[in-house]
Amino acid sequence: MLKLSRLTDYAAVVMAQIARHPQASHAAADLAEAVQLPHPTVSKTLKMLVKAGLLESQRGVQGGYRLARPASHITAADIIAAIEGPVAMTECSQAEGECDLAATCGVADNWQRVSLAIRTLLESVTLAHLADTTPIKLPVQLPIQSISLASA
């Protein structure tokens, strides 16, 4: 099964909570209470999101966590990459030369197309979309045939 880790799911939940109130600074304890997750888990997630440049933190009485850029400029791919690393289906679709079988496997090019299609979709979904309570309208079919690997 292909699925995201719980920590990545929690990161999206925490980021969406912050995005719903972008002008406020959010304390880790308050976020944990608001999203009903354990404080240590939220703290760990927040640190990873700060390290990835998606959140900014400020210490002190007026301190807390804020989005590093507007929610419309943070993508689902950004959140996933902050916790999991780059979005890729296989080693060879993440970076060239990473697989000893690439020259003989016969599927690397197609796996790269699938990875690129998934990345493209995840890059089209913003944190603003995720934070909104209305359902996201996604394309029914991705144009995999039109994806050029040269632009990846």
Q: Nearest CA to 52 among 65, 35, 33?
A: 65
pLDDT of res. 96: 55
Using CA atoms, how far residue 25 sits from 29, 38, 103, 104, in Å, is 12, 19, 51, 53
pLDDT of res. 95: 59
Alpha carbons 130 and 68: distance in angstroms, whole number: 17
pLDDT band at 147 (very low <50, low <70, confident <90, very high): low
| Tokens found for residue 5 | 């880790």
| Tokens found for residue 23 | 């002008």
Alpha carbons 112 and 40: distance in angstroms, whole number: 37
pTM of the model: 0.85
The stretch 89-113 carries a mean pLDDT of 74
Q: For 36-67, how does the pLDDT look when each residue is reduced to its tens digit (9 = 90+)? A: 999 999 999 999 999 999 999 998 878 899 99
Q: Are residues 99 and 64 in contact, defined by beta-carbon separation less than 8 angstroms?
A: no
